[in-house]
């Protein structure tokens, strides 16, 4: 390459770096401030639950009705867990998001969580961040390509602000868009937006919880523990599958119920309130206390976390979101992952490893359910430390593969196959992509089936012949 071409190339790259560093920083500050406002309002509302002379979650039927009214009246895209609509906007609308989504999503989520709905806060954070970036892009008349890029920065900034893990949040914002592909041109602006938003939130008073569970490990090769972690990865992948299947089934069932949406929402809320008389009230809201308990070292805490906790939480979350509640899905995934890991640790790890497997479940179920293994590994480092992250990487990778080509975000595009035995329709979203055995493996599978049928037929014929011989044999008169 000639010196002049080198100069043009380097100048163009430097100009692009300067441009996106500036834009990502501005977006990060704005989104960090906006999402911090959302988190502060959410914290304020939760702190005021005690003003009622009854349990706050008795308001859930009315809260879900109000959430449905807000989203149906002012911003339909604010329905559900938020992140899915952001991914859909990036892939199908070049990142364009209606400005009404920002205040409606904020208010509807606060109403849902205040009244006890089982949902999270990261989806709204991502949707608020993406919506803010979309509005800025429209004001500055950005091209579709640049608007899409800035909106992805907004997603990363929103996640980083809510998670309190700037690198994992930034990578998560990129990784959830396409399964199997990291868009490296978005790496720098997303990380800058994530860091800027995170530090802005901290400056404005946002606080985060980090878990120091590295005490359990004097780092050395433990083959038995690695085997348990690998089995745990399979278990967490199955838990992630249960989450995805239950969410989809609940939404389908609610849609088929012949009632108007307000009656459905009220009935769903009433169902969850009545169920709390049987299973307890720890499944309402964010459930952060239960997550902290599952990650605590003291073995006595295990008695406070029943084996069925993760299953009930899946049901509560599916009913809340399927009936029209607004909020995120990732915080419930953390809850389900941590409590299912706590249960698994009790079976295979013993009391001294409960917190370890709860931590592994925390990030592994996230990786499986969202198809974001890289972000999950980085999150394990940022939340739990390097000693845990080594084991988490194994569990995360297995969970990601075990789930297959499914996701809590059906608008994710597919660009990889999780098995060489499968043919995948690349470029389609998960909801509409076709998955089948490769032709060679399909033939082999059919041949195996044919051989099994032939063996069964031969065995059946032999049994008939033997029975016939016994009938025809002369009686023994000894």
The secondary structure of 340-409, three-state, reads: HHHHHHHHHCCHHHHHHHHHHHHHHHHHHHHCCHHHHHHHHHHHHCHHHHHHHHHHHHHHHHHCCCCCCC
Q: Hey, which of 13-17, 147-151, 297-301 has the most confident mean pLDDT?
A: 147-151
- Whole-number Å distance between alpha carbons of 159 and 198: 9
| Residue recorded with tokens 């969410």 | 247
Q: Please report the pLDDT score of residue 472 as a whole number.
A: 65
Q: State pLDDT tens for residues 464-478.
A: 777 766 666 666 555
C-alpha angle 186-176-417 in degrees, rounded to nearest 5:
105
**Residue 305: pLDDT band with limits 50, 70, 90:** confident
Q: Please report the pLDDT score of residue 471 as a whole number.
A: 67
pLDDT mean over 169-187: 87
Q: Please report the pLDDT score of residue 22 as a whole number.
A: 93
Q: Please report the pLDDT score of residue 220 as a whole number.
A: 59
Q: State pLDDT tens for residues 96-144.
A: 888 888 899 899 999 999 999 999 988 888 889 999 999 999 898 888 8
Q: State pLDDT tens for residues 69-107.
A: 999 999 887 776 778 888 888 888 888 888 888 899 899
- Whole-number Å distance between alpha carbons of 303 and 117: 25
Check pLDDT > 70 for residue 6: yes
Q: Please report the pLDDT score of residue 302 as a whole number.
A: 52
Check pLDDT > 60 for residue 61: yes
Q: Please report the pLDDT score of residue 27 as a whole number.
A: 92
Q: Please report the pLDDT score of residue 394 as a whole number.
A: 95
Check pLDDT > 80 for residue 267: yes
Q: Please report the pLDDT score of residue 375 as a whole number.
A: 94
Give kind and range of the element (H or E) at residue 308. none
Q: Please report the pLDDT score of residue 261 as a whole number.
A: 93
- Whole-number Å distance between alpha carbons of 225 and 289: 28
- Whole-number Å distance between alpha carbons of 204 and 191: 20
> Which range, of 30-39, 217-226, 239-248, 439-448, averages the lowest pLDDT?
439-448
How far from the centroid of its chain's Cα atoms is residue 1's Cα?
Answer: 46
Q: State pLDDT tens for residues 47-60.
A: 898 898 999 999 99
| Residue 76 burial (CB count, 10 A) | 14
Q: Please report the pLDDT score of residue 338 as a whole number.
A: 95
Three-state SS string over 218-264 comes to CCCCCHHHHHHHHHHHHHHHHHHHHHHHHHHHHHHHHHHCCCCHHHH
Q: Please report the pLDDT score of residue 454 as a whole number.
A: 75
Query: DSSP of 23-89, one letter per residue?
Result: HHHHHHHHHHHHHHHHHHHHHHHHHTGGGSSS-GGGGHHHHHHHHHHHHHHH-GGGSBTSHHHHHHH
> Which range, of 4-13, 287-296, 418-427, 433-442, averages the lowest pLDDT?
433-442
Q: Please report the pLDDT score of residue 215 as a whole number.
A: 47
**Percent of residues, the chain, with pLDDT higher than 70:** 88
Q: Across the chain, what does the average pLDDT equal?
A: 86
> Which range, of 187-191, 368-372, 461-465, averages the lowest pLDDT?
461-465
Q: State pLDDT tens for residues 330-361.
A: 999 999 999 999 999 988 866 778 888 999 99
Taking CA atoms, 445 is separated from 317, 435, 440, 449, in Å, by 38, 15, 9, 6
Q: 410: burial class by Cβ within 10 Å (0-12, 13-18, 19+)?
A: middle
Give kind and range of the element (H or E) at residue 267. helix 261-279
Q: Please report the pLDDT score of residue 7 as a whole number.
A: 77
**Residue 249: pLDDT band with limits 50, 70, 90:** very high
Residues sharing a CB contact under 8 Å with residue 166, sequence separation 6 or more, in sequence order: 160, 191, 194, 195, 197, 198, 199
Residues sharing a CB contact under 8 Å with residue 295, sequence separation 6 or more, in sequence order: 211, 213, 338, 355, 358, 359, 362
Q: Please report the pLDDT score of residue 336 as a whole number.
A: 97
Q: Name the token pair of 282.
A: 């720890």
- Whole-number Å distance between alpha carbons of 96 and 139: 12
């Amino acid at each position: 390459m000639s010196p002049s071409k080198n100069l043009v190339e380097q100048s163009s790259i430097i100009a692009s770096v300067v441009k996106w560093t500036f834009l990502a920083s501005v977006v990060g500050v704005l989104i960090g401030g906006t999402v911090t406002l959302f988190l502060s309002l959410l914290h304020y509302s939760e702190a005021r639950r005690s003003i009622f002379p009854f349990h706050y979650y008795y308001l859930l039927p009315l809260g879900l009705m109000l959430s449905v009214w807000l989203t149906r009246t002012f911003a339909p895209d604010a329905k559900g867990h938020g992140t899915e609509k952001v991914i859909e906007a990036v892939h199908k609308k070049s990142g364009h998001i209606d400005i009404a989504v920002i205040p409606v999503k904020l208010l509807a989520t606060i109403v849902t969580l205040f009244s006890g709905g089982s949902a999270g806060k990261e989806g709204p954070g991502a949707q608020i961040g993406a919506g803010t970036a979309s509005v800025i892009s429209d004001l500055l008349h950005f091209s579709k390509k640049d608007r899409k890029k800035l909106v992805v920065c907004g997603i990363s900034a929103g996640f980083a602000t809510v998670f309190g893990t700037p690198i994992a949040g930034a990578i998560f914002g990129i990784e959830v868009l396409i399964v199997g592909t990291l868009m490296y041109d978005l790496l720098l602006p997303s990380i800058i937006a994530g860091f800027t938003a995170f530090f802005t939130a901290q400056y404005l008073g946002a606080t985060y919880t980090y878990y120091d569970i590295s005490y359990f490990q004097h780092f050395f090769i433990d083959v038995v523990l690695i085997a348990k972690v690998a089995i745990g990865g399979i278990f967490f992948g199955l838990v992630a599958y249960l989450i995805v299947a239950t969410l989809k089934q609940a939404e389908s069932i609610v849609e088929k119920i012949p009632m108007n949406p307000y009656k459905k929402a009220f009935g769903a809320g009433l169902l969850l309130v009545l169920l709390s008389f049987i299973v307890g009230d720890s499944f309402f809201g964010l459930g952060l206390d239960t997550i902290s308990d599952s990650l605590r070292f003291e073995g006595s805490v295990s008695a406070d976390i029943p084996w069925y906790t993760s299953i009930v939480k899946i049901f509560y979350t599916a009913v809340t979101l399927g009936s029209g509640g607004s909020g995120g899905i990732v915080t419930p995934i953390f809850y389900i992952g941590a409590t299912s890991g706590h249960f698994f640790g009790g079976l295979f790890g013993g009391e001294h490893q409960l917190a370890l497997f709860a931590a592994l479940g925390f990030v592994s179920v996230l990786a499986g359910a969202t198809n974001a293994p890289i972000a999950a590994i980085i999150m394990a480092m940022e939340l739990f430390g390097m000693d845990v992250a080594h084991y988490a990487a194994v569990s995360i990778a297995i969970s990601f593969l075990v789930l297959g080509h499914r996701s809590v975000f059906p608008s994710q595009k597919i660009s990889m196959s999780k098995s060489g035995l499968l043919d995948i329709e690349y470029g389609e979203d998960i909801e509409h992509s076709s998955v089948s055995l490769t032709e060679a493996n399909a033939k082999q599978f059919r041949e195996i089936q044919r051989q099994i049928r032939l063996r069964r037929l031969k065995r059946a014929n032999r049994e008939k012949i033997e029975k016939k011989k016994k009938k025809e044999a002369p009686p023994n008169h000894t």
